[in-house]
Amino acid sequence: MTSGCGCGGNGGGNGGCSSSAVHPPQAVGQGPELAVEVTPQLIASSEQEWPVVSVNGTLIEPQAMAQELQYHPAADRQEAVFLAARALVIRELLQQRIAELGLAARLGAGENQEEAATRLLLEHEVQVPECDEASCQRYYASNRGRFHSAPLLAVRHILLECAPDDAQARAQAFTQAQILCERLVQFPGQFAELARKHSACPSKEQGGELGQISKGQTVPELERQLFTQGQGLVAKPLESRYGWHVLSVDQRIEGQPLPYEAVATAIRTQLQQGVWQKAVVQYLQTLVGAADIRGIRLQGADSPLVQ
């Protein structure tokens, strides 16, 4: 049967509760943030009113704030309005600088005209020093514990499937999973038989065998629990969005330390991204300090913005 368990069990003993997610692209200026202070007139006094915000005499239209609001979830409307107004002020500053310099960019893959022009502006005005080899090696030496290959597990499971929002079905499935765990403690040789009888995963045809699993092949909530387990029958059922899993780790091969050469490129990319974010924040600080911004106060260019 076709199951939503996400295990990747395809009848061949390969895969293992895998899933993929699409992550939204990160906008310019995220990461390190501008330190800001709100003036009283920024805060709307009702659901229908909007703050009066302008950048060098150009008014940020209430309609634009209303549209931007959806991209800034917050604890309350006041905070969301503030975040939306701040984003639009930064956007307007960038657009004004692009116009001042007369920049016209060729569109890159997936870009619109504004995105291309902003990219060209940052390339033109933001100087980003390159991370040198010594910095990369120092980072590696200080963080050796982070650079290991992932453990490799040989796993069997029995999936007791239930919808994530069905509390009653979840409770019933958990009770059944507990009973199966207790039975397997007494009769470990019955795992394959019980999997074929009770599991909702296609892997039941192989006695519940998922093959060898590494990190990134299971749904995140199950992976976090599974990779902390030692070898043998997992003492209690583990929960995922698909239901309750009765699991046995038949083999566990620990990860090995990775040499510097294997991770040097990733380290350089990570450090370079941090340097780039810092440089962009400092550039935005300069634009803020030189602008006439009313209705919202962003920290000026006389102190660091990096947090």
Q: What is the pLDDT of residue 6?
A: 54
Q: What share of the chain is helix, strand, coil (3-state, %, to 5)?
A: 45, 15, 40
Distance CA 209, CA 246 (A): 12
Residue 10 has pLDDT above 60, yes or no: no
Asked if 280 and 126 touch (Cβ cutoff 8 Å), the reply is yes
How far are the Cα atoms of 47, 148, 249 from residue 18, in angstroms, in the given order?
A: 43, 21, 17
pTM for this entry: 0.55
| Residues shown for the chain | 307
What digits encode the pLDDT tens for the residues 102-156?
998 888 888 899 999 999 999 999 988 888 999 999 999 999 888 988 889 999 9
For residue 36, the one-letter residue type is V
What digits encode the pLDDT tens for the residues 213-231?
998 898 999 999 999 999 9
Backbone angles phi, psi at 187, to 5 degrees: -130, 70
